[in-house]
Amino acid sequence: MNHPYASLTPDVVMDAVESTGYKCDARILELNSYENRVYQVGIEDQEPIIVKFYRHDRWSDEQIIEEHVFTQELLDNEITSVPPLLIDDKTLIIHDGFRFSLYERRGGRAPELDDPQSLEVLGRYIGRIHRVGSSRLFERRPTITADDYGYAARDYLLANDFIPEDIRDAYESVATGLLNDMHNILNESFEKIRLHGDCHMGNVLWRDATPHFVDFDDSRNGPAIQDLWMMLSGEGGAQSEQMRHILIGYRDFAEFNFRQLRLIEPLRTLRMMYHSAWIARRWNDPAFPRAFPFFNTARYWSEHVLELREQWAKLSEPVLQVYI
């Protein structure tokens, strides 16, 4: 059976864009996206635009529109996000069975994580995002939980025979042990807010000394630290210093509960588990074997088990220390 994206030909892409009133000049560039299909499309006598075709079975229409409303709310508060364009009072459009949205093209470079001033600016903008995000929760989009990111990921991989037989017991043992040990921490009652959800360097474009946040496709409810820890790199000392500068900027606009620092390694672990299951769930999409050729090999699963064991050890280490 063909994957649903198999029928998304260049002609369909151009027809979809032209159905909104734009006139394509036949230039199409496929961008680096796997979960959805994203293209830069040339427009006659105008700047190119970005068109994003949503995966059929991931989000409901209502959940996608919640994301759109959030990004527009951020822009209305002068926060540099990139909401979809409004076409006939709609941001989610349907053409030939595909749901899509149009966006302005936005350029920029990756932020400099070794620059304290850049980190403080990043912190200020994330703080502003969270100040808006804390005004209410998503009603349709989910909340980050161990059930979704951890238990469901583990169970899917075990039930669908992705893990080699000689590694299966080791994976099940370490994954289950990790989830059991993280249970109490992850179930503490930290405040939940609307998040970007996937706030890493690849989703931040630096332009005119300002970060521009893109790709809110993973937006959901969760603790504020989820949008902060992925900015960290290096060892513990370097991460402490990076987080210090991020929080100096962040706290100009939003409160931060320092107890959330103990969530960093559990959230990192859940992301690792979820990422493997995410690739597995999409393995019938030809874009995924092309993008992740190393996946689903004995070496990959052996290294994944080793990474999870290392994460298990980190859960016993002292929480990241940040002094401001």
Provide the annotated active-site residues.
Answer: 198, 215
Q: Distance (Å, rounded) from C-alpha 267 to C-alpha 184?
A: 13
Structure tokens at 135: 């005004």
DSSP letter string, 210-232 = EEEE---TT--EE-GGGGTGGG-
Please choose, from the candidates 253, 132, 109, 256, the residue with its C-alpha nearest in 3D space to the C-alpha of residue 244: 256
Contacts of 138 (CB under 8 A, 6+ apart): 63, 66, 70, 194, 219, 220, 221
Q: Residue 100 phi/psi, 5° resolution? A: -150, 165
- Alpha-carbon distances of 147 from 68, 187, 243, 270, rounded to whole Å: 26, 11, 28, 10
In the chain, DSSP finds a helix count (H) and a strand count (E) of 10, 9
- Alpha-carbon distances of 44 from 18, 25, 48, rounded to whole Å: 11, 5, 8
CB atoms closer than 10 angstroms to residue 151: 17
DSSP bridge partners of 93: 100
